[in-house]
Amino acid sequence: MFFFTAQDRLSASAVFLFDSISLLCFASSTFFEAMGGLPSDSPCKLINGDDGYILEDVPHLTDYIDVLTAYPNPLRSNPAYSVVKQYFVHMDDTVPEKVYFEPEDVHACIVTCGGLCPGLNTVIREIVCGLNYMYGVTRILGIDGGYRGFYSKNTIPLTTKVVNDIHKRGGTILGTSRGGHDTLKIVDSIQDRGINQVYIIGGDGTQKGASVIYQEIRRRGLKVAVAGIPKTIDNDIPVIDKSFGFDTAVEEAQRAINAAHVEAESNENGIGVVKLMGRYCGFIAMYATLASRDVDCCLIPESPFYLEGKGGLFEYIEKRLKENGHMVIVIAEGAGQELVSESLQSTNQQDASGNKLLEDVGLWISQKIKDHFTKLNKMPMNLKYIDPTYMIRAIPSNASDNVYCTLLAQSAVHGAMAGYTGFTVGLVNGRQTYIPFNRVTEKQNKVVITDRMWARLLSSTNQPSFLGTKEIRGKHEKLSTKLLNGVNSREKTCN
């Protein structure tokens, strides 16, 4: 059993992983106090833990200068940082030890569901190759077109030869779909075909579907391992460090942002607006913005914004154009949906899986900006709107995602062969883990705007936070009370 905790902050001490069974933790001096303290004159300040981890203290000026004055950090009153709270991950996971299938008895299947994402083909390839090269499994089927393919389509035999080059292609060779999850029909099909390992690649909806398939299989008492491989370009699956395809999406988004910047820079008062994916969360927009340095404003679903008045978007645009002559706005597709619905009086529509169908916020905001500056005869302005969303999603995964896909696929194969079931694979604090389905389906991963990553973004773009001073003070007071009461203290995170 593994146990991980981590904190995203620089601190006085760090714990380094030493072997495969370990605790990953960034610890502060309070942690060392809880551990019984470090000898202050210890030259290297190392602790060897029982489970094979090493604690190593990071050198500090106070190690060798006796009298040093400390000052309050001015960032505490900086609007971007004043509401930042610590964050940590605190999840159990397990490692497989024994194999519960004879390779010649394995009959595996692979299915891909939900929207496209760079890396789907790599995961398919590496499951097939992992099963075959590592365990000698030869009977592997592809399910055509998502969950409904279990009961409405023919299967696709998968061999290492068939999948050899597929990682170089975008999309999924198996096809995908939304909706069509009929648990009983799916499990009947699994049972009828004699399948005993099911590899399910998909997002939050898919993992929910996988969870009910697993429950039904369990109810029927079948020896069938169900393994989920989390897929989502939006990075909205909780617990795991990030989903595959996310890095590729952030990288590809740079091309669109770059084009928007070139257009904006070359025109008088040029504005480039780029819409990126992110139905319920703004991770792609946030990371693409941080990576680019050309973005002046990033709008995400988690951070409500407003257009008019003091501290609003229009005021900022005007200021930025006066200062710089051009600007780039990145907007996640799920941002400002309440404003769009209000203004377009749209009805709630859903896709086949029950996901909300979004209004095009990119078009809407572009029109709003144009109207504001032309109607009010404010200043000449030149706006270009770029929507690269599906182009980003359709490309093959980049090198780092290919490596990640390989790790996930191999991990899923090891887990299933070892007899684990009802789990999703994922990296948690950099370690391969098996996570029970319910942990990844109970909530969605979102950008927390009181965490430091969003603060870093605000500091990088210098855009308004769209929070009034009253709201900032309220959040700050809540945080101070929490810290005084010991919630978020290091001792808790390292338990």
Ligand X SMILES: Nc1ncnc2c1ncn2[C@@H]1O[C@H](COP(=O)(O)OP(=O)(O)OP(=O)(O)O)[C@@H](O)[C@H]1O
The residue ranges that bind ligand X (CB under 6 A) are 113-115, 146-147, 177-181, 202-206, 208-209, 212, 232, 353, 355
The pair of three-digit structure tokens given for residue 76, joined into one six-digit string = 């505490």
| Strands 139-142 and 270-276, bridge-based pairing | unpaired
Interface segment toward ligand F6P; rule CB under 6 A; list 46-54, 164-172, 276-284, 452-460? 276-284
Site mask for ligand F6P (CB under 6 A), range 281-320, x = bound: ----------------------------------------
Binding piece for Mg ion, criterion CB under 5 A, among 184-192, 200-208, 291-299, 471-479: 200-208
Residue 277 in contact with ligand F6P, rule: CB under 6 A:
yes
Identified binder of Mg ion from the candidate list 118, 119, 180, 205, rule CB under 5 A: 205
- Residue 432 three-state SS: strand
Instruction: Tell me how far, at minimum, the Cβ of 111 lies from ligand X, in Å.
Output: 9
For residue 234, indicate whether it is catalytic. yes
Q: Which stretch binds ligand F6P (CB under 6 A): 27-35, 72-80, 272-280, 479-487?
A: 272-280
Q: 296: closest CA among 452, 458, 447? A: 458
Residue 255, SS3?
Answer: helix
DSSP character at residue 63: G
Stretch that binds ligand F6P, among 16-24, 40-48, 232-240, 293-301 (CB under 6 A): 232-240
H/E stretch holding 376 = none
- Number of residues lying near Mg ion (CB under 5 A): 3
- Which pair of tokens denotes residue 271? 């504005």
Identify the helix (H) or strand (E) that includes residue 16.
strand 13-16
Residue 320 assigned as binding residue: no
In angstroms, the CA 354 to CA 334 distance is: 16
392 is in an annotated binding site: yes
Q: How many CA atoms lie within 13 A of 434 on its CB side?
A: 21
Residue 284 is assigned to a ligand binding site: no
Query: Which residue in the block uniquely carries the two structure tokens 């290297």?
Result: 44
* Non-local CB neighbours of 466 within 8 Å, separated by 6+ positions: 303, 304, 305, 306, 311, 312, 313
Q: Is 239 helix (H, G, I), strand (E, B) or coil?
A: coil
Asked whether the beta carbons of 192 and 157 are under 8 A apart, the reply is no
Residue among 130 and 205 whose Cβ is closer to ligand F6P: 205
Residue 393 contact partner, candidates ligand F6P, ligand X, Mg ion, none, CB within 5 to 8 A by sort of partner: ligand F6P
Among 233, 335, 339, 383, binds ligand F6P (CB under 6 A): 233
Determine whether the annotation assigns residue 469 to a binding site.
no
Interface with ligand F6P (CB under 6 A), residue from 333, 401, 411, 439 = 333
Q: And the tokens for 259?
A: 């084009």
**β-pair partners for 285:** none
Among 57, 93, 144, 234, which one carries the catalytic annotation? 234
Pick out residues in 363-422 that bind ligand F6P (CB under 6 A). 393
Position 203 contacts ligand F6P (CB under 6 A): yes
Positions touching Mg ion (CB under 5 A) are 203-205
Give the residue numbers marked as catalytic.
Answer: 234
Residue numbers belonging to the annotated binding site for Mg(2+): 204
